[in-house]
Amino acid sequence: MYCSECGCEVNGKFCSNCGTRVQLGEVPEVFDWRQSYDFERISQSAEVNQRVTQAKAGAGRDTSSLLLDLIDAVASPMMGGISSLAIAKASQPLTAKLGFKTGKERREFVTLPPGEVLANLAVTLASIEHSITCVTFGDNHCHIRATLPPDLRAMEVRLAVNIDGAEQGMWITATAEAEGQWYDWGKCQSQLDRLFTGLRAA
């Protein structure tokens, strides 16, 4: 018997993973996360959740991000206590309106089920600093938007990942964009490299 909410095996009246009550006589739906496009539900399944937890435990802040904090802490007193990072964030919308923008895009085909691709995405994102801003999915697609924190190379980077089902596999299209600046010193490219390495994991 499996939980209709998270797909974990249930041996009693409640799911030990998510706490959902199983009604007597009820035959819970079997959730095959490997064939699903539901990113949030896939992330909550026992097997994937364990991998995500391990990735978070092993994650550390990017060295460039830590250096930015250090430089900002040193520079702030010389600027009257005003954070240079705050000034940069405030000016970013203005420079973005002026058309300053840089970024990279990549599209690849993988022969993995959608759920495995999305599980790999959840694990990869867990291993780096990120904030998910939007998730939408349907019968044969899942679109995810996230932001990556500023560092010495670039201000906030917007990450968009589209997973679209196709015959014999999945098309993955990902873009990384830094608005408000002309150069990102390789940040967008390196983030996409890391992302696709994780997505292709078997």
Q: 88-135: per-residue pLDDT in tens?
A: 555 555 555 555 567 899 999 999 999 999 999 999 999 887 889 999
3-state class of 36 per DSSP? coil
Query: What dotted CATH number matches 91-199?
Result: 3.30.530.20
Q: 91-101: per-residue pLDDT in tens?
A: 555 555 555 56
Number of other CB atoms surrounding residue 86 within 10 Å: 12
3-state class of 10 per DSSP? coil
Predicted pLDDT of residue 67 = 47
Token pair in block for residue 66: 């830590």
The domain spans of the chain are: 91-199
Q: 136-178: per-residue pLDDT in tens?
A: 999 999 999 998 877 655 577 889 999 999 988 999 999 998 8
For the cut 50, the answer to whether the pLDDT of residue 54 exceeds it is: yes
Q: Range with the lowest mean pLDDT among 2-16, 74-88, 101-115? A: 74-88
Predicted pLDDT of residue 154 = 57
Query: Which range among 16-20, 28-32, 57-61, 128-132 has the greatest average pLDDT?
Result: 128-132
The mean pLDDT of the chain is: 77
For the cut 80, the answer to whether the pLDDT of residue 76 exceeds it is: no
Predicted pLDDT of residue 36 = 95
3-state class of 89 per DSSP? helix
What are the distances in angstroms from CA 76 to CA 31, 36, 66, 142, 155?
Answer: 52, 48, 15, 42, 18
Whole-model pTM over 0.85: no
DSSP 134-159: EEEE-SSEEEEEEEE---SS-S-EEE
For the cut 60, the answer to whether the pLDDT of residue 191 exceeds it is: yes
Predicted pLDDT of residue 57 = 85
Predicted pLDDT of residue 179 = 74
